[in-house]
Amino acid sequence: MQGRVRRIFHRMTPRPDALVIANSEDRHVDASFFYLFDAVGGAFEGDTLVARPDGSRTVLTSALEAETAQQAAARDSTVEVRVCRGRDAVVAALRSLVDAKASVGLNFQELTEERFHDLQAALPEAHWVDASSAIQKARRVKEEEEIARIERAGQIVSSVAAEIPSLLRSGTTELDLAAEIEYRMALAGSSGRSFETIVGFGPHSAEPHFSPGPAPLVPGTTMVCDFGALHRRYVSDLTRPFHFGPADPEMRRVHATVLEAQQAALSVLRAGARPCDVHRAAQDVIDRSPWKGRFTHRLGHSIGLSVHDGLSLNLETTDPLEAGEAVTVEPGIYLPGRGGVRIEDDVLVTSSGYRFLTTASRDYVGVDA
């Protein structure tokens, strides 16, 4: 963890005196808090982390998280935990840790306005600087332990994807299947879903971010299932299409084209490659097909503590990929009113290419009704 802190400070010019990560409630808990403090359990809502250029850190937590925080600190001698009972105790702790007129880095990308006002009130003479970019870039390249966690999350979704064909029956709804996928992930060892599970039947599969509803499965349906697991706070993200009932020759050809596009992107994916070129490799395949213009989103994104972990693989991103980045590769073709196909895998960028972190079959899967 010390090395992670130092990498963030090293990326900032001028270098601040301290870095503060301030959580809010529920959905506004900053994942970077756990990048710098490896507490696997607990919510840590409202907690604060103060980091210093030497890599040492102090976590200000409530009694709710005290035991979990102390267990995490017992594994890391460079972090201190202080249990603060009430807002005044947090303010007093901050003032003891950060000089009154210090330059303080904040993750403005994740910080709520309310917490920022709290920090301003606690340290009214501090100089605030945006550390968002430095934090994001530091998180992009994963350490071995991070890769192992993502790969385990990838194994969970890969095993569940193999079970989906056995779950397809006439009358099963999108919500039924989404719930079953999440249940199977839990049975396989996931501590939760990394995002809202997407299940879209028929025309709904042509909406990349569709939310499942009561639509029933009927023979002749193409579907898309997009889901992710959590393992020790790290995520996976997998999408597979399936077909239920009588074959649809066009959708089978669409599947073959999407798979070719994914493989074309993977063939140029490696450390030093530009994300825009990786995206273009996939798009060129689709634009040469009868479905030109029906690939409507970016090729992928980085994953880690968040399902969208900072990097975007699109036509605008020119910052070269680095070995150790974990990214999704997910081309798709969407035919409004009819259906869609998306094939998404998680891969690790290496110096010579890539390594799959998800292993579910990418073949066309048709299930008899």
Check whether 321 has a pLDDT greater than 90. yes
Cα 124 to Cα 94, 95, 207: the distances in Å are 12, 10, 48
Decide which of 140, 158, 178 is a domain's last residue. 140
Residue 251 to residue 63: CA distance in whole angstroms:
55
Half-sphere exposure of 161 (CA within 13 A, CB side): 31
Same domain? For 259 and 224 the reply is yes
Same domain flag for 184 and 229: yes
37 and 129 in a single domain? The answer is yes
- Reference 239, options 344, 331, 152, 165; nearest CA is 344
pLDDT value of residue 273? 98
Co-location of 149 and 294 in the same domain: yes
* Residues 6 or more apart whose Cβ sits within 8 Å of residue 99: 17
**CB-based burial label for 290 (10 Å; 0-12, 13-18, 19+):** exposed
Question: What DSSP letter does each residue of 255-288 carry, written as one string?
Answer: HHHHHHHHHHHHHH-STT--HHHHHHHHHHHHHT
**In a shared domain, residues 213 and 261:** yes
Residues 327 and 196 in one domain: yes
Give me the domain span that covers residue 68: 2-140
107, 140, 173 — which closes off a domain? 140
Q: Is the pLDDT of residue 26 over 90?
A: no
- Residue 128 and residue 182 in one domain: no
- Look at residue 214 in the predicted model and tell me its pLDDT: 98
CA-CA distance, 44 to 358, in Å (whole number)?
A: 30
The fraction of the chain above a pLDDT of 70, given in percent, is 100
- For residue 221, count other CB atoms closer than 10 A to its CB: 26
CATH number, domain with residue 319: 3.90.230.10
The total of structural domains in the chain comes to 2
Q: What is the pLDDT of residues 217-246, one digit of tens each?
A: 999 999 999 999 999 999 999 999 999 999
- Whether the CB-CB separation of 57 and 78 falls below 8 Å is answered with yes
Q: What is the pLDDT of residue 23?
A: 97
Tell me the two tokens of residue 263.
């493989």
162, burial (CB in 10 Å: exposed 0-12, middle 13-18, buried 19+): middle
Per-residue pLDDT tens over the stretch 150-164: 999 999 999 999 999
Which residue is it, tokens 């709290």?
A: 118
* Cβ neighbourhood burial of 353 (10 Å; 0-12, 13-18, 19+): middle
**CATH number, domain at 66?**
3.40.350.10
Span 279-316, pLDDT tens digits = 999 999 999 999 999 999 999 999 999 999 989 999 99
